[in-house]
Amino acid sequence: MFLMILKTCYTELTKGGIAMPRKLWLLSIVVFITIILFVGGCQTTAPLKIDLKKTISAGQLKEMVKDSSNYYHVGFDWRLEPSEDVKMYIPLLNYVDRQTGYKFRLRVFPHDTDIAQEMVTGQIQFAIIGPLSLLRAEKYGVKSLVIGVTGNGTSNYRTMFVTQPKSPIKTIQDLRGRMLALGSRTSTQGYLIPRIMLAQAKLSLSDLASFESFQSYADAANAVLGGAYDAAALPDTLAEKLASQGLVKIIAISDYYPSGGIAVSPGCNSAVVAAVQKALLRFDPQGKDSKGLYKWDNSEMPKGFGPVIGDPYASYRPWVKEFGLIK
């Protein structure tokens, strides 16, 4: 058909004794072919319809739907130091993978990253965070999924002020005019509770010679151990461990306050959320699920997770407002 059209065109063009030069004839062919291809390319054809149910099993189709989002990402507040935190949390994600059938990956952000913003923008769907981070994220619709169970079997923990063993500092009042190492400004045990302790002792940050917020609890501890700072605010578990080794002495202990846990971003698939929550509440790090865990006793939830009942963080709210920690 294509050749017949070309022959007809040639006959019409040469009718009447008009002879076409060879180059012009070849050029005409190229232009003609281009037009044909272009027109053909613009033609629309109905897309092929394939019924997946006829080509794969129902089980395979279910798996394809389940994995359509590839991975659910999990962020976390820095606690010890990033490398240690990653080693500690990856086994937990592996456990959740096995229990739910969904896939989870850990994401590491700089220490000053607003985890709440990362959840709202979809960078992460879940986060292992402390109460202060959660309170900052509530305005974006982030909710607490489970709360950590600490070493004492409750969902509460404490903060402790420590100094070097031979330091003349003996009480929290002795911190006046001294240099204090704190945790990140988003840390509950390293920043919020220490400020509550100071306020209850009629002290403020302005009464200190200086203070600094460090990226992790390990950095804050090292600031005291190395003599760069007079005292540091540390989680109870870390402070007690260092004290038992004779490396620091504890000079002040806070009241018990609600611990952190795992939060979920708004809009996350409800079926995924339910499956994750169920898996976390079944997590038994001291028993059947202990194999493969890395230094889990150093986490904020050494004995697993409990359900969120009422408003577990109500005791923090007036202090957070007073200190202006939520914009």
User: To the nearest whole number, what is the mean pLDDT of the chain?
Assistant: 83
Q: Within 13 A of 72's CA, how many CA atoms are on the CB side?
A: 25
Q: With the C-alpha atoms ordered 145, 148, 154, 159, is the resulting torsion angle positive or negative?
A: negative
Distances (CA, A) of 251 to 162, 164, 234: 6, 10, 11
Give pLDDT tens digits for 199-223.
Answer: 999 999 999 999 999 988 989 999 9
Mapped onto helix, strand or coil, the DSSP state of residue 75 is strand
pTM over 0.85: no
Mapped onto helix, strand or coil, the DSSP state of residue 213 is strand
pLDDT for 110? 76
pLDDT for 225? 96
pLDDT for 83? 85
Give pLDDT tens digits for 79-129.
Answer: 777 788 899 999 999 999 999 999 999 998 877 677 878 888 888 999 999
| Residue type at 146 in one-letter notation | V
Lowest-confidence region among 109-113, 233-237, 248-252: 109-113
Check if the beta carbon of residue 179 is closer than 8 Å to that of residue 233: no
Distance separating alpha carbons of residues 112 and 77, to the nearest angstrom: 9
> What is the DSSP code string of 125-184?
SEEEE-HHHHHHHGGGT-EEEEEE--TTSSSEE-EEEEE-TT-S--SGGGGTTSEEEE--
pLDDT-based confidence at residue 69 (cuts at 50, 70, 90): low
Distances (CA, A) of 300 to 27, 51, 174, 181, 193: 78, 49, 29, 20, 15
